[in-house]
Amino acid sequence: MKLQVLNPHQTAMDSKEMEFRDLGSFDDGGAGVFWSNEGGPSPWEMHPDCDELLHVMEGEIDIEVLPKEGGEASVATVGPGCFLVVPRGCWHRQTIRKKSSEFYVTPGKTLHSSADDPRVNV
């Protein structure tokens, strides 16, 4: 077996803006990186069968999470070196506050929505 050491920040910086670079498989999903300048919000996404780890390597990103059982969204600002775990089954989206790079681990499938509240269409 050959082990591979990766530098996620360098891989992100060697990519084009918003080019999601796959770093490898992880269970039924994968791990990857991207970088972007200020902008957002992104479309909603949800992972019905897994939690997702979002690690901000550089910059600052607001991550908005809708609770599964209804109610108002929670927003967390995640800065450099910090991470947030989005719980399984929760719709979430991101707003990039300033140039940022992010490493993510999504061990399962991903659903997307552009609805105002994607919980209504589930």
Per-residue 3-state assignment (H helix, E strand, C coil) for the chain: CCCCCCCHHHHHHCCCCCCCEEEEEECCEEEEEEEECCECCCCEEECCCCCEEEEEEEEEEEEEECCCCCCCCEEEEECCCCEEEECCCCCEEEEEEEEEEEEEEECCCCEEECCCCHHHHC
Instruction: Say if residue 19's pLDDT is above 70.
Output: yes
Cα–Cα distances (Å) from 103 to 4, 56, 72, 85, 100, in that order, read 17, 6, 27, 12, 10
23-71: per-residue pLDDT in tens? Answer: 999 899 999 999 999 988 999 999 999 999 999 999 999 999 999 988 9
Q: Report if residue 38 sits inside a domain.
A: yes
Residue with tokens 């994968």: 30
pTM recorded for the entire structure: 0.92
Q: Is residue 1 part of a domain?
A: no
pLDDT tens by residue, 72-81? 999 999 999 9
Give residue 120's pLDDT: 85
- What would the pLDDT profile of 86-114 be if each residue is shown by its tens digit? 999 999 999 999 999 999 999 999 999 99
- The domain tally of the chain equals 1
Whether residue 35 is contained in a domain is answered as yes
Range(s) of the domain holding residue 62: 8-121
What's the average model confidence in pLDDT over 15-26? 93
Please determine, for residue 122, whether its predicted confidence score (pLDDT) is greater than 80.
no
The token pair at 29 is: 């999903």
CATH classification at residue 93:
2.60.120.10
- Asked whether residue 51 is domain-assigned, the answer is yes
Alpha carbon of residue 115 to chain centroid: 18
Q: How many residues does the chain have?
A: 122
Distance CA 78, CA 118 (A): 23
Could you tell me if residue 3 is inside a domain? no
Q: What is the pLDDT of residue 121?
A: 65
Task: Give the percent of the chain with pLDDT over 70.
Answer: 98
